[in-house]
Amino acid sequence: MSETVYPDFGILLVDDEPDWLGSLALTLESCAGICNIATCCDSRQVMAILDEGRIGLVLLDLTMPHLSGEDLLELIAERHPEITVIVVSGLNQVETAVRCMKRGAFDYFVKTDDEDRMIGGVLRGVHMQELQRDHREMASRFCSPEIRHPEVFDAIVTGDRAMQAIFAYVEAVAKSPQPLLITGESGVGKELIARAAHRLSGCRGKLVTVNVAGLDDTVFADTLFGHVRGAFTGAEQVRRGMVEEAADGTLFLDEIGDLSISSQVKLLRLLQEGEYFPLGSDLPKRLKARVIVATHQNLSAKEGTGAFRRDLYFRLRTHHVHVPPLRERRGDIPLLLDHFLEEAARALGKKKPTPPKGLAQFLATYGFPGNVRELKAMVYDAVSVHRDRMLSMDSFVKAVERSQAEAGPAAVTPPKENPFAGFDELPTFSDAAAFLVMEAMNRANGNQTLAARLLGISQPALSKRLKMRQSI
């Protein structure tokens, strides 16, 4: 597997001492995993290199022949204000440092400074540049909200405007190295969003999915980080962790809300430090994968009760999308119904059946606690027992009734406000019944069979009431 180039923009080291440049480049690569490095010994060539557009961060010496570091600092601020500049000088002078900061330097270090301090400053500069690039990309995408790569979202059947907005957001943040948090109820398609984000990221590696629900701390660490031989009893061979398997690609951690506190600490360190230790090893390895996490739980509420670490929560939600449940995008039901009918018929070796009139409207009256996954299961079950040209509605009605019965009375009939509470005079039973019939017919788009099901009466009884209204 090819090595990841980190970061995805170039870092230019500028100094008239080649030995210092070589030493600094080696230090950054060995201690921080920074390998996308270019060097320049002639200050007159710097602006031409920056004009090529691949450099995002410059480490700049001050005392050089031809153009001084301060002169270059002014030129960079004028012509390339988007580039982050860190001054690394042999001069330990407060006045010089203050002057450089006023001219736009992100930070100032002396060559004799502690190595860890300098590396930390460079990593902060890299992080700042990444955030700025994310911001520019997102601003550009939101100014032009059309989806540039609709084919990436083909697996998600929708015409809903909220879903289209989610697609545009995912396109905007797909190339960001920061974590992406996907929330939503079970069955809404969170993994499909993660797959789309991976395809849009441009990562050369694969998408590695890990469901972390139910993993204790040791199994979690072994699954993600792997182990060396002899790390524990039975560890006879080296095991690559999922983080390493996802190198150059995307690591997707599903059901992240179920992680124990101790496992949350390990994940936080992985994201903050960008490195991890395989079990039994003293040598760290770098994180070379984009991290996407998903959960059906309310992490904000869990954070409030102390069940989820606040620092990890805010680290994970750098980018966040919430996928709405199916009951909030009922307009997608006819599209999904048609899609799953075709898919089920193909999978079961049958001809695509014709859905009965009113089926989509009937399904739109159901809350779908299992969301798209539940609708898919209903369709597959109905097609599997289908025999005639016209698909029977009975299978769907039984599935809805069974789900409502299993959910219990509280879930089936949630308490509602009294619709007559503000009335000075109550309507008669006849008037109230007439209002119900009218509303049911409106919701069923004139379909008497569906309206009767909504009212819980037979179709002949509904037909009789409609004739009574017409005769009045």
Q: List, in order, residues 6 or more apart from 422 with CB less than 8 Å away.
A: none
Domain 153-323, what fold? Rossmann fold (3.40.50)
DSSP letter string, 21-89: HHHHHHHHHHHH----EEEES-GGGHHHHHHTS-EEEEEE-S--SSS-HHHHHHHHHHH-TTSEEEEEE
For residue 61, the number of C-alpha atoms closer than 13 Å in the C-beta half-sphere is 21
Cα angle for residues 15, 21, 25 (degrees, 5° grid): 135
Q: Which residue has the tokens 């006023």?
A: 102
The H-or-E segment that residue 109 falls in is strand 107-110
- Distance in angstroms (rounded) separating the CA atoms of residues 304 and 198: 31
DSSP 275: E
Q: Is the peptide bond before 65 cis (omega within 30 degrees of 0)?
A: no
Q: Which option is the CATH number for 429-471: 1.10.150, 1.10.10, 1.20.5, 3.30.70? A: 1.10.10
Q: Which option is the CATH number for 10-139: 3.90.1150.10, 3.30.465.10, 3.40.50.2300, 3.20.20.10? A: 3.40.50.2300
Predicted confidence at residue 301, as pLDDT, reads: 93
In the chain, where the domains are located? 10-139, 153-323, 327-412, 429-471
Predicted confidence at residue 116, as pLDDT, reads: 87
Task: Tell me the angle at which helices 217-225 and 261-273 cross, rounded to the nearest 10 degrees.
Answer: 30
Q: How many residues does the structure list for the chain?
A: 472
Helix ranges, 292-393 (H) = 299-305, 310-316, 333-348, 359-364, 371-384
Tokens matching residue 70 = 């301060």
Instruction: Show the beta-strand stretches assigned E in 178-310.
Output: 180-183, 207-211, 226-227, 239-240, 250-254, 275-276, 285-286, 290-295
- Report yes or no: 248 and 289 within 8 Å, Cβ to Cβ: yes
Q: Is the peptide bond before 7 cis (omega within 30 degrees of 0)?
A: yes
Q: Which residue has the tokens 């690591």?
A: 251
Predicted confidence at residue 434, as pLDDT, reads: 80
Nearest to 85 by CA among 63, 56, 117: 56
Entry pTM: 0.71
DSSP reduced 3-state for 388 = coil
The H-or-E segment that residue 459 falls in is helix 459-471
Burial grade of 421 (CB within 10 A; 0-12, 13-18, 19 or more): exposed
Predicted confidence at residue 2, as pLDDT, reads: 42
Instruction: Provide the 10 A C-beta neighbour count for residue 424.
Output: 4
Instruction: Provide the 10 A C-beta neighbour count for residue 436.
Output: 15
The H-or-E segment that residue 108 falls in is strand 107-110
Nearest to 16 by CA among 36, 53, 44, 54: 44
10-139 and 327-412 in the same fold? no
DSSP letter string, 172-187: HHTT-SS-EEEE--TT
The tens place of each residue's pLDDT in the chain, 472 residues long, gives 345 578 889 999 999 999 999 999 999 988 888 999 999 999 999 999 999 999 999 999 999 998 999 999 999 999 999 999 999 988 788 888 899 999 899 999 998 888 888 998 999 999 889 888 877 766 666 655 678 899 999 999 999 999 999 999 999 889 888 899 999 999 999 999 999 999 999 888 999 999 999 899 999 999 999 999 888 888 888 999 999 999 989 999 999 999 999 999 999 999 988 889 999 988 888 888 999 999 999 999 999 999 999 999 999 998 999 999 999 999 999 999 999 999 999 999 999 999 988 888 889 888 999 999 999 999 999 999 988 778 888 889 888 888 878 876 544 445 555 666 666 677 777 777 888 888 888 777 777 777 787 777 888 888 888 887 776 6
DSSP 150: G
Q: How far is the CA of 52 from the CAs of 9, 73, 250, in angstroms?
A: 12, 17, 29
Nearest to 293 by CA among 273, 265, 263, 319: 319
- Indicate the residue type of 422: G
Question: Integer distance in angstroms from the first to the last C-alpha of the chain?
Answer: 80
Bridging pattern class, strands 180-183 and 290-295: parallel
- Report yes or no: 214 and 251 within 8 Å, Cβ to Cβ: no
Q: How far is the CA of 87 from the CAs of 57, 100, 101, in angstroms?
A: 11, 8, 9
- Report yes or no: 194 and 257 within 8 Å, Cβ to Cβ: no
Q: Which option is the CATH number for 327-412: 3.40.630.30, 3.40.50.300, 1.10.8.60, 3.40.50.11030? A: 1.10.8.60
Nearest to 34 by CA among 15, 7, 8, 74: 7
